[in-house]
Amino acid sequence: MSAHGADPSTLLRGADLVLTMDPFYGEGLLGAVEGCDVLIRAGAIAAVGRRLVPAPDTEMIDARGKVVLPGFVDAHTHLWQSAIRGRGAALGLYEWFSACVWTVVPRIRPSDMYRFVRLSAADALQSGTTTAVDWVPALDYEVSEAYLEAVSDSGLRFAHAAYQQPADADLAAKVLTGLVAPHPLGTPQVATVAHRDAPDHLRVHAELARELDVHLNLHLLEHRTDRSGDPVALLEEAGALGPKTLLNHVIHATGAELDLLARRGAAVAHCPLSNMRLGTGVMPLREIHRRGIRAGLGQDGGANDSADMFASMKAAVGLQRAVSQDPTGHPGPEEALYMATMGGARAIGQDDRIGSLTPGKRADVAVIDPAALNLAPCGARPAQIVFGGRPENVTDVFVDGVARKRAGRPTGEDPARLVAEAETAARALWEGAART
Distance CA 288, CA 283 (A): 9
Q: How far is the CB of 24 from Zn ion (least distance, A)?
A: 34
Q: How far is the CB of 219 from Zn ion (least distance, A)?
A: 5
Q: How far is the CB of 78 from Zn ion (least distance, A)?
A: 6
Nearer to Zn ion, 95 or 352 (CB): 95
Nearer to Zn ion, 226 or 300 (CB): 300
H or E element, residue 179: none
Distance CA 384, CA 381 (A): 5
- Torsion 72-77-81-86 (CA) sign: negative
Q: How far is the CB of 79 from Zn ion (least distance, A)?
A: 11
Nearer to Zn ion, 300 or 421 (CB): 300
Residues near Zn ion (CB under 5 A), total: 1
Could you tell me if 138 and 319 are in contact, meaning their C-beta atoms sit under 8 angstroms apart?
no
Residue type (1 letter), 293:
I
Could you tell me if 294 and 347 are in contact, meaning their C-beta atoms sit under 8 angstroms apart?
yes
Nearer to Zn ion, 67 or 191 (CB): 191
Q: How far is the CB of 393 from Zn ion (least distance, A)?
A: 27
Nearer to Zn ion, 78 or 314 (CB): 78
Please tell me the chain's helix, strand, coil percentages from 3-state DSSP, rounded to the nearest 5.
40, 25, 35
- Quick note: the x/- pattern for Zn ion over 268-307, rule CB under 5 A, is --------------------------------x-------
Distance CA 330, CA 290 (A): 9
Nearer to Zn ion, 257 or 300 (CB): 300
Nearer to Zn ion, 156 or 220 (CB): 220
Burial string for 213-226 (b: 16+ CB within 10 Å, else e) reads ebbbbbbbbbbeeb
Distance CA 90, CA 227 (A): 23
Distance CA 182, CA 9 (A): 25
Distance CA 430, CA 436 (A): 10
Q: How far is the CB of 135 from Zn ion (least distance, A)?
A: 5
Q: How far is the CB of 19 from Zn ion (least distance, A)?
A: 28
Contacting Zn ion within 29-68 (CB under 5 A): none
Half-sphere exposure of 246 (CA within 13 A, CB side): 34
Please give the residue whose beta carbon sits closest to Zn ion in the complex: 300
Contacting Zn ion within 111-140 (CB under 5 A): none
400 binds Zn ion (CB under 5 A): no
Contacts to Zn ion by CB under 5 A: 300
